[in-house]
Structure 1
């Protein structure tokens, strides 16, 4: 099938789902990876034959390897991967924090992202493709005791290192760094903040940059 193909984790809602919609609108095929099988099946149905639902757990590397292989078989190649899956914490700070929540956060925000990168790299090396990582404004400034923020500092540091590694084979790496976005990530609506489609447009902007240009970071903040 014609068109480039992108693999998106955390694709069942929020930034992941809107990025899938924006990518299809821009002519891309999309692989929708998330645990919520019903949600990605519904989204794939909405997007039509350019989308493929790939249920799986981001903390399971073999699940991601299998999903990427299926996606490549379906569309011929994988030209980009968006490591977007992430989680937050119910208790902020170190003293009040819950170590069990920290472990879950590290599994998803750090190891899950590493598994996406490792699983996607053979495909991206073949296609001279692009890796995108969801960072955060919380990974660009110090927030008192924030373990979540520290996980996003990892993403920003690792993304820069990956850009250097991927440059060796003509690949690119971009960190997408939003401020507060009105998504299910938060318990209460934030309608005056950024919307997922704002970040999706940033994803497509980075993907569609001329191949000679690597947009290494897109930092998007709400006006209010």
Structure 2
């Protein structure tokens, strides 16, 4: 895998940082995208500045993420894979109960989780067509099973549909599309109640991403769902 180039959004922590580390250890050059470049600069230094690029971009802003992809290609000469991983979660109640009185607080989550994934895909796919590359998107178990009052779940159902729609459009291009659906994972978006349950680590999900990336071009891993042992759906 030497010199293959992977772009990761949401790379400053959690699944994104774990995936970047494992990919770099497997021989990838990595473009690390976070809202502020300084939040991924230490990780780029850790991985080696000749093989890692720190980029600041808001995935929910089209010019911003498009520029990050352009800068990646300018720096490394190609793009072989993109991991649309950036996401946030906020609590929601469609009745306005509990601590969710203002639905306008939902907007950043919808913009990041849905438009952010779509913009990242749109920015990366022309370069991925050139390399017959690989697009990966972070979905969720919550994008496969209904969650009570959860707009986060709705956004992840959107990503599930997005992955399928892109895969259909990609037929004949050589581009592969993989949806990664984590179960409860130890990241900073978990609620206190979720932290009482069995959890995966970010490294568990990174290994699933690398499994998909390590398949030959003739194999398109459409979807991987990873749950902690004992998680009840």
Which of the five TM-score ranges fits, normalised by the shorter chain? over 0.9
- The residue that corresponds to 2:85 in the other structure is 84
- The residue that corresponds to 1:59 in the other structure is 60
- The residue that corresponds to 1:40 in the other structure is 40
The gaps in structure 1 that reach 5 residues or longer are none
- The residue that corresponds to 2:151 in the other structure is 147
The whole-number CA distance in structure 1 between the counterparts of 2:229 and 2:51 is 34
Give the drift of 1:187: 5.3
The whole-number CA distance in structure 2 between the counterparts of 1:176 and 1:52 is 24
- The residue that corresponds to 1:94 in the other structure is 94
User: Alpha-carbon deviations, 1:81-138, whole Å to 9, x = none?
Assistant: 110000101x333113431122111110111111101111111111111110000000
The gaps in structure 2 that reach 5 residues or longer are none
Runs (4 or more) in structure 1 with deviation over 3 Å come to 187-192
On the 8 A contact 1:12/1:36 being kept in 2, the answer is no
On the 8 A contact 1:132/1:173 being kept in 2, the answer is yes
Q: Is 2:118 aligned against 1:114?
A: yes
- The residue that corresponds to 1:199 in the other structure is 205
The whole-number CA distance in structure 1 between the counterparts of 2:209 and 2:105 is 29
Q: Is 2:139 aligned against 1:135?
A: yes
- The residue that corresponds to 2:22 in the other structure is 22
CA RMSD of aligned residues (A): 1.5
Give the drift of 1:168: 2.1
Q: How many residues align?
A: 222
